[in-house]
Chain A
Amino acid sequence: MSNALEVTNLKASIGDLEILRGVDLTVPFGEVHAVMGPNGSGKSTLCHALMGKSDYETSGDALVDGVDIMGMTVDERARAGLFEAFQYPTEIPGVTLNDLTEAMAASNPDDDGYAARESATTKTLSMNPFRERFVNVGLSGGEKKRSEMYLLGVAKPKMAILDEIDSGLDIDAVREVAAMVEAMRSDDMGILIITHYSRILRYMDVDKVHVMVNGRIVQSGGPEVAEELESGGYTELQAANAR
């Protein structure tokens, strides 16, 4: 059986700057993994390189449910089952969340589950007040994250990557987001939490933790890896894995 995500030797660069220097990562269906790493280590670049953002030159393989996505456009990757919750969700003035989910459903005519997921996720995340508002415009940090989680619930991807879904939130909001992620866990989805701090991992069960430093995964293991990092920090790992 194939995995939700299988990344092999993924490299990404902008001009002369090599940001990802060969990332290997596998997330099986039904599991929740975390990638931790200091600022600037390449975590967001990993998300964008997988999503297909045109800023980066990439090489290497990435499979979603066994399908090679690297040759695909951004929208094709999304329709192949990849979802990125943005660290900084883009504001779309004049376009309501409803407009967006409508367009998402229309873009995926073979999937007739949108309406049901929309009403279900609207309830669980109490999204009704936001559906007529413009996408991400004027939302607080926590509301933006909730809106991203909502779109994740509506899209129901095979593989979800959540880029710093916990950053900028107070502790109650972090707990809330952790609960949302736990609620999304299912046998037909893989989830990758990207985070700078181990805080969110205290409120959820992750199957594996990967540590990224300077564009590489330098350590992988169980939840204990996060605890070690919490006490030791990244300094030692950074020194050991300098470019």
Chain B
Amino acid sequence: MTAPTIPGTDDPAWLAARRADASGRLDDLAMPSERDEIWRYLDLDFDPAFDSAPSQPGTVASPDELAEAWTGKIVSVIDGFVTDAGVSTVISASEPTDDGVGTDLFATAYDALAPGAVLIDGDHLGEKVFVDVQSTGAATTFPGVHVEVPAGSEASVVVRFRSASDVPAVVVPRLTANVGDNARLALTVIQDWNYQTRAMGRAVVNLGRDSGLTLSEVGLGAKIGRLHLDVNFIGHGSWAKIYGVYFGEDDQTLDYRYFMNHIGTNTRSDMFLKGAVEDDALSVFTGMIRIETTGVKTEAFQTNRNLILSSGASAQSVPNLEILANDVKCGHGSSVGPLDEDQRYYLMSRGLTPDVADRLQVRGFFEESISQIPHADLRPWIRERINMKYITAQEEGRV
């Protein structure tokens, strides 16, 4: 299907019903409160401008360099509209099971207003899929990606978010995935929004028996770049490895709320996030490991390390545990601090100027995470982008 999907045309019945239901509730919903833990630290004093949602995709200013270098399948989602669904039907024909995204303002707005989601399913698993999600104007848009990995198969998906420069946009992305029994999903999400974009991302991944998810999230910028992620370890023996890399600058807020919900037995989660903030940027990571009474023999670990590179920058790193089962193994590590003085001294003693020593240290800091991004061919580009951010901050005297 190549034509844009306009809400209301050719929609399956379940979708029309969901839209109607959500539209009915939307008007009564207020902006979430920053007093609510899940929204804490965010500046929500902005107009979500849902009535600005476009009825058709805008024009893309520049091609994407990553997409151009991509050797697999490419799909474009422009202003929420799937404009090139080379991969698949736009909307699942059957009603999705309750995907647990919640009923807050943004989730409800998505349900009411999203034109449709890219569906990547069993027909498209032979090749890597690159979803190029763009926001072209000063409007609020609702891009969606749903991945359905059938039992025993493997999927490899990159979702790259970006917005046209200098336009204030609000984006409410939704990413959902069902990974079947014994299936694998490798997913890389790149948030590369402009400085004025507020992206309120929501993601839910359901894992079947003995299935595995490798997810990496790369935060390269946004006014607010949020990802609220739930991974549901429903099947016994399911596992997830989650890597994060983020670099905040200017007055950006990069906001990650990750929930690992261990329901099956013998499941395992590993979260490993590394980030840096400079200038007036703020990063937030709250990692919740929740082990249900049924989740015996769960192993769950989280690590979040943050570099504070300027005095105006800050990072919140909040690990949480909620353990209702016996016989589990959990661990967490979290740190927030400046560059390491001993490393700087050692590197300088080898003849490196302080600037070069710090660059090397920053590069090394991120390497531990970048080297784990499942899509190896994206690593050089990500490494370059992150390191250039730091070098620019050095050259402009902010760090």
Contacts and interface: CB of A to CB of B under 8 A. Distances in A.
Interface of A: 51, 53-54, 73-75, 77-79, 83-84, 86, 89-95, 99-100, 103-104, 106-108, 134, 151, 155
B102 interface: no
Interface of B: 342-343, 345-354, 356-357, 360-361, 363-368
Given A93-B364, A95-B361, A79 B347 contact: no
Given A78-B350, A94-B363, A95-B360, 18 more contacts: A53-B345, A54-B345, A73-B348, A74-B345, A75-B354, A84-B349, A90-B342, A90-B343, A91-B343, A92-B360, A92-B361, A94-B365, A94-B366, A99-B360, A100-B347, A103-B352, A107-B350, A107-B351
Contacts of A77: 349
Contacts, number: 77
Contacts of A78: 348-351
B358 to A, nearest CB: 11
Contact of A107 (B343, B352, B361, B363): B352
A93 B272 CA distance: 15
B354 A73 contact: yes
B43 to A, nearest CB: 33
- Interface of B (DSSP majority class): helix
A92 B350 contact: no
A215 to B, nearest CB: 21
Contacts of B357: 75
5 contacts: A53-B345, A74-B349, A75-B349, A94-B367, A103-B356
A47 to B, nearest CB: 10
Nearest to A78: B351
Contacts of B360: 92, 95, 99-100, 103
Among B348, B367, B368, which residue has the most Cβ atoms of chain A within 10 A? B348
B351 to A, nearest CB: 4
B353 to A, nearest CB: 5
B354 A95 contact: no
B305 to A, nearest CB: 10
B350 A155 contact: yes
B352 A75 contact: yes
Contacts of A84: 349
Nearest to B364: A94
